[in-house]
Structure 1
Amino acid sequence: MSTSYQHSDDMSGLYEASSIGCVDTLNQLLHQNPQILHKISLTSFTETPLHISSLFGHLDFTKALLSHKPQLALELDSSRSTPLHLASAEGHIQIVKELVKVKANREACLFPNEEGRIPLHYAAMRGRVEIAKELIRAKAESLSLHDNNGNNVLHFCVMYNHLETLKALVELEPQRSGEILNNRTFDGKNTILHLAVMFKQLETVRYLLSMSKIRAAARETGFTLHETLDRSPKDMKSLQIQVTLMKYGIKPESKEIDETQPPQTTTSDNICNSILKRIGNCYKIQDKDEWLKEMRGNLSLVAIMMSTISFQAVVNPPVGLTDQLQLSSSSSSSSSSLYSTHHRQKNPFLFSNTMSFVSSLSVALLLVSGFSLKNKVVMWVISLGMCVALTFLAIAYLYATSLNYGYDSNWVMLVFLAWIGLLLIITMLNTIRFFIWIVKISVRAVKLVVRQVKNQNGCCCFV
């Protein structure tokens, strides 16, 4: 029993020493129990001390372990990774050199883990150029291996945007790398050029297209390259990549013209449809739901502000109107009442202001009542109400301005006519849009009725 406990303590001490890189502790444990390294596989640990020392970069401890048991370099952990996987990913170049120094241990360069990735893949993913070179010198055939998804080392260089690593691998083994330049993933979609275009790596695209093998293959698959670019968000890099592809003669697939269809002729119907389509495009909105939310809030704010202005104009009437009342009043009591005397002079301002006040309040009430703005009729009524409110507010303003500053009636009439003209244009466009919607609804209803009648006739004939 005591021997079992001693063995467990020694093994725990070995793993603790590997985590801190203490060579003295390792030598002491080997002196006490020379077979301790050969009993590692009998423990419940998921990794060997060499995995741990390689992960943390303890060079002297790694050398000591390999000097006593070189076979540890080929042991796998729970994810089927060798110590070389861990050292390559972490960038410990000296440990990588020690792990591949023995010829038999170089087979670890070809060991795939549970994801099908070899140490070279992790070096490429992390941009470890020197480690990638060392691994290729040890096993050049590792360049051709791929993971479970069909990604080779060049795919990983592009996926993780390590252009310098990509260049180093291509230059180090031009023959082997040339054989895999145009390899696709297992789904048959992506070469390294497709990935570079997808991730908008402009410099990588230019470098890849500088190689004749990639250019030749790219001209045959130009459509998929441009299609990949079209699916990504448009920005300056997209335009630059598109120009680069065109520069190297990689053009999108041209659409063939169907000669069996007669050519389109320009008729009056086509002209009318074109005009109506242009009018519809003026009102076309990209994000309709977001626009409706903003529009409801903005209309409510404008309607409330207009009603407030109209109310304030009644409480504090224009100075010119008040002066006329004071001059025309025969007593002090009549001057204190704004709308009790001189009905003819006050009537235009009172009527316009009241109409603006009522119209704006009606619009605000309609907005807060819960009616959906997606309904065309509701939107048309709201637009009409806002036009009425704005028109009468403008009339009240012009009348108050003429009272305060005595402007010429011709000037007032000119401004009023300009406003009416603008209002008519807006009203006409909205009315046309409204009637277009009504026509579309009517056409759909007629088509539905015709379809139902045909179905009924067909059923009767069948009977």
Structure 2
Amino acid sequence: MRPHEQNPPSFGQEVERCNDNKLLQLYEAALSGSLPTLTMLIRNDPQILHRASLSSRPETPLHISALSGHLDFTKDLLTRKPELASRLDSFKCSPLHLASAEGHTEIVKALLGANKEVCLVADEEGRIPLHLAAMRGKVEVIQELVDAQHDSIRQKLNGSTVLHLCVQFNQLEALKQLVTLVDENQLLDYTDHGGNTILHLAVMLRQLETITFLVSVPEIKAKINVLNRMGLSALDLLNHYPRDSKSLEIGEILIKAGSRSTPIQSQLVPVAVGREIQVETVNSRSFTSGLKGKTKSVYQKCKSYFKHRSDWVEEMQGTLMLVATLTATISFQVATNPPGGVWQQDYTNTTAGMFNCSKDYGKCVAGTAVLAYVFPGNYLVLTIVAIISFIASLSVVLLAISGLPLKNKLCTWLMTIAMIIAITFVLLTLVGAIVVVTPDHIFSTIAEALDVTEIIWIALVGIVAVFATIRLLFWLFRLLTKLKHFLRKMLSRPLRNQAPIC
């Protein structure tokens, strides 16, 4: 049977393929900024820009050219087809959005000359070109966009003005530029959805340079105590942050500028988290009084950090007993069912092959461990660590059920050390079992992994042991201090009660 012969492509298909190739060349020319290629394509096909506008591609050649920063190519496209300036891509971005985000000032000027109304067009996320320029800190582009459409300054993104975006994205130079373009008397009228001014937001984000600049603006300084919708000034917001050196420095700047705290006991305070503003309930604390407070001594800070929770052992008593029982079971299992099993019957050197059964009884006794005859040293170590793990686990269980005062720091320390020993020797039991059952051809690889595991475990155990020991030492120090005061009081009492000698 003859194979089916395919029909040659029709004339319409050939034309469509040719047009697709031309469009591909047009987009490649836009990406590279090749003006001669654009001229040649339009000379050969004057309708190519119209077909590009009607094609299924989301971006036009002007989008690609504006994004890539090809000025001459962009100007030529705008001259031939100016309506491309208002076309939106799949993200509802115009060429002006892309050029503004990338900071191509001259291309922005050319696009604004074609259609300045695009300044107020928002993309699918609600951002106008000015928002993108402010987020990227493109100062020159900001000037051009505001000159073209001054009302774009008042356009909000998710409740935030372009001034707030400069603070949020830490673009100080862009903020300085916008401050000069806004009516000075209306600077603090620009608020977000929570009524926060740009000074409120700068304090929430703890931007020291931005705050220093803002309080240097006379109009902002004159209204520095303006309140947001929750009745908080900028200094009120700072009161609810950790009092580190940065917060102290910001507080001094605000106080010198004339800021004052609002006397409120508790309130809802917005807290900046990354790029989001969340709201949480906190208690009001006076920042100014914190500046005058005395710094705690090193001992008091360490004492607070290593403060012992007296009830955690009782809360975890059931869990500790469960873990201790589990580790005891593992150790017991290794002792009674060692790796390699036990002899099922008595063997001699003749019947046992390569194994040495001449020790002890002159034979390999049924029920004894095979490993004890093959690797007696390794078997002895494995058994010892299993016994230690078993005893330590039972010690934890015994302490938990003994009725001893578990809130006592010494009992807590003993239980912690016993648990560390139990878990550590369970790990050593595992290591010993792996060593004796691993064949020689992969033992080196396993040994490297075990070495890394042991180092990590030693580091973790060291941290826990040091932490528990330091807490015990703090408790002993306090106990000895109390005992010292008690003995001094007892020794001084007879002297006070002694009758005078005549």
- TM-score bin (small chain): 0.5 to 0.7
SS state at 1:113 partner: coil
Within 2, Cα distance between the matches of 1:10 and 1:127? 38
Q: CA deviation at 1:96?
A: 1.2
Within 2, Cα distance between the matches of 1:34 and 1:180? 51
Instruction: Report matched runs for 1:29-108 at 5 Å.
Output: 29-102=41-114, 105-108=115-118
Instruction: Report matched runs for 1:163-182 at 5 Å.
Output: 163-171=172-180, 173-175=181-183, 178-182=185-189
Unaligned runs of 5+ in 1: 257-278, 297-362, 387-421, 431-463
Q: CA deviation at 1:377?
A: 2.1
Within 2, Cα distance between the matches of 1:240 and 1:154? 24
Q: CA deviation at 1:94?
A: 1.6
Letter matched to residue 186 of structure 2: E
Letter matched to residue 34 of structure 1: P
Aligned counterpart for 2:252 among listed residues 233, 243, 256: 243
Aligned counterpart for 2:479 among listed residues 395, 413, 426: 426
Aligned counterpart for 2:210 among listed residues 198, 204, 209: 204
Cα-to-partner distance string for 1:82-132 (whole Å, 9 max, x where unaligned): 111111111111211211223xx1111111111211111111111111111
Cα-to-partner distance string for 1:18-47 (whole Å, 9 max, x where unaligned): 111111111111112111112223211111
Q: Would you say 1:382 and 2:388 are equivalent positions? A: no
Letter matched to residue 408 of structure 2: W
Letter matched to residue 150 of structure 2: A
Structure possessing the higher radius of gyration over alpha carbons: 1
Q: CA deviation at 1:180?
A: 4.8
Aligned counterpart for 1:194 among listed residues 190, 200, 207: 200
Instruction: Report matched runs for 1:106-185 at 5 Å.
Output: 106-147=116-157, 149-171=158-180, 173-175=181-183, 178-185=185-192
Within 2, Cα distance between the matches of 1:213 and 1:282? 47
> Are the aligned partners of 1:154 and 1:181 in contact in 2 as well (CA < 8 Å)?
no
Q: Would you say 1:10 and 2:19 are equivalent positions? A: no
Q: What is the alpha-carbon root mean square deviation over aligned residues?
A: 3.8
Cα-to-partner distance string for 1:344-364 (whole Å, 9 max, x where unaligned): xxxxxxxxxxxxxxxxxxx97
Distance of aligned partners of 1:287 and 1:80 in 2 relative to their CA distance in 1, 3 Å threshold = farther
> Are the aligned partners of 2:100 and 2:133 in contact in 1 as well (CA < 8 Å)?
yes
Distance of aligned partners of 1:33 and 1:230 in 2 relative to their CA distance in 1, 3 Å threshold = same
Q: How many residues align?
A: 297
Within 2, Cα distance between the matches of 1:425 and 1:3? 94
> Are the aligned partners of 2:405 and 2:411 in contact in 1 as well (CA < 8 Å)?
no
Counterpart for residue 311 of structure 1: none
SS state at 2:56 partner: coil
Distance of aligned partners of 1:215 and 1:8 in 2 relative to their CA distance in 1, 3 Å threshold = same
Within 1, Cα distance between the matches of 2:116 and 2:260? 45
**TM-score (structure 1 length as normaliser):** 0.56
Q: CA deviation at 1:71?
A: 1.1
Distance of aligned partners of 1:283 and 1:378 in 2 relative to their CA distance in 1, 3 Å threshold = farther
Counterpart for residue 356 of structure 2: none
Within 2, Cα distance between the matches of 1:134 and 1:118? 14
Letter matched to residue 153 of structure 1: V
Within 2, Cα distance between the matches of 1:161 and 1:376? 58
Distance of aligned partners of 1:288 and 1:63 in 2 relative to their CA distance in 1, 3 Å threshold = farther
Instruction: Report matched runs for 1:256-271 at 5 Å.
Output: none
Q: CA deviation at 1:227?
A: 4.1
Within 1, Cα distance between the matches of 2:131 and 2:477? 70
Letter matched to residue 122 of structure 2: P
> Are the aligned partners of 2:226 and 2:233 in contact in 1 as well (CA < 8 Å)?
no
Letter matched to residue 197 of structure 2: T
**TM-score (structure 2 length as normaliser):** 0.52
SS state at 2:134 partner: helix
Unaligned runs of 5+ in 2: 1-11, 266-299, 321-390, 415-474, 484-502
Counterpart for residue 294 of structure 2: none
Letter matched to residue 109 of structure 2: K
Letter matched to residue 116 of structure 1: G
Within 1, Cα distance between the matches of 2:398 and 2:63? 67
Q: CA deviation at 1:53?
A: 0.7
